[in-house]
Amino acid sequence: MNLLVRGSAIVPDGRAPAPPLIAVREVDKVYGSGEEAVRALDRVSFDIHEGELVAIMGPSGSGKSTMMNLLGALDVPTTGSISINGNDIGKLSRDALADLRNRSIGFVFQQFNLLPRTTALRQVMLPLAYARPRPADPELQARTRLEQVGLGHRLCHHPQQLSGGQQQRVAIARALVNNPELLLADEPTGALDSKTSADIMGLLRELNGQGITVVVVTHDADVARYARRRILFGDGAIVEDARLEA
């Protein structure tokens, strides 16, 4: 499974079945050690394929946040394997994980996590500053992404000059700027009112329609309704994995 690279596996009958973008296999995640060890994930396995729109749900303490950290290559499993785009993250160094995040994953956070006193354009250019090799025209790419999320007229605004919904759009543009395979959103509407939440979820769904894989971690059933698949966590394991009618 480790050798799978997107689009490279050819089966004898000539068709190329899509290998999963993310393959989670028998993953345990244990925090601490000995008596005080906490098992946050217990033998979790699932696949996410390219183009999916997945909601990961569950009450707090269910392991969904831990799962999100692993899917985002921010952390590595205690045992088992997670491969993202063919890379087994347990076998990568810290710097290789950073490069993988930079190339393949875009993050959207509940609190937006924008830099203070920095223009929208510079916020979106931030991931490009860490890209290897450096892109030719980072400013143009950032501008294009801001226009894509409907903020073409707010390029030089600072976060404090933008509404919550606009700030989250800047964050989404920043997540998209490196053309990642996966957009990982952690409670993306947690700090927004219901109207703005609907706008943001609509935008994520629209982006998914354009081909990008989206994983949303949320405890909000309304938000989860936008997904085409719902994975429900409980007590460190998958309780339900259901396809939804779009």
Partner 1 sequence: MTALDCLRAAVAAIATNFLRTVLTTLGIIIGVGSVIVMMAVGAGARSEVERQIANLGSNLLVVNPSARLFGGRSSGAGSNLPLSEDDVKAIETKVPGVQAISGQLWASATVVFGNANFWTRIWGVHASYLFARSWSVESGRDLTEQDVAGARRVALVGLTVAKKLFGDNDPVGEVFRIRNVPFTVIGTLTPKGQTSFGHDHDDAIFVPMTTARTQLIGKHPLVPDQVGSISVKFQEGADLLDAQEEIEQVLRQSRRVPPGDDDTFVVGNPIESMKARTAAQTTLGWLLAATAAISLIVGGIGIMNIMLVSVTERTREIGLRMAVGARRLDIMLQFLIEATTLCVLGGLIGVVLGVAAAFVTAGIAEWPILIPPQTILLALAAAAAVGILFGFLPARRAALLSPIEALRSE
Per CB under 8 A, contacts with partner 1 among 2-61 are none
Under the binding rule (CB under 8 A), the answer on residue 195 touching partner 1 is: no
First and final C-alpha spacing in the chain: 31
Separation of alpha carbons 127 and 89, rounded Å: 20
CB of 95 to partner 1, least distance (A): 4
> What's phi and psi for 231, nearest 5 deg?
-110, 120
Per CB under 8 A, contacts with partner 1 among 161-190 are 174, 178
Tokens 């785009």 identify what position?
Answer: 85
Contact 186, 25 (CB under 8 A): no
The only residue of 19, 63, 86, 127 in contact with partner 1, by rule CB under 8 A = 127
Residue 213, number of CB atoms within 10 A of its CB: 22
Per CB under 8 A, contacts with partner 1 among 130-159 are 130-131, 134
Q: Which stretch binds partner 1 (CB under 8 A): 66-74, 79-87, 190-198, 220-228?
A: 66-74
Asked, as a colleague might, if the bond just before 133 is cis with ω within 30 of 0, I would say yes
CB of 36 to partner 1, least distance (A): 18
Under the binding rule (CB under 8 A), the answer on residue 94 touching partner 1 is: yes
DSSP-based three-state secondary structure for 90 = helix
The only residue of 95, 133, 136, 211 in contact with partner 1, by rule CB under 8 A = 95
The set of residues, in sequence order, having a beta carbon less than 8 Å from that of 130 and lying 6+ positions away, is 98, 102
The nearer residue to partner 1, 16 or 129, going by C-beta atoms, is: 129
Q: Which stretch binds partner 1 (CB under 8 A): 1-9, 13-21, 124-132, 202-210?
A: 124-132
Work out the burial of residue 95: count CB atoms within 10 Å of its CB; fewer than 13 is exposed, 13-18 middle, 19 or more buried.
exposed
Under the binding rule (CB under 8 A), the answer on residue 107 touching partner 1 is: yes
**Contacting positions for partner 1 (CB under 8 A):** 69, 72, 74-75, 94-95, 98-99, 101-103, 107, 109, 113, 115-118, 126-127, 129-131, 134, 174, 178
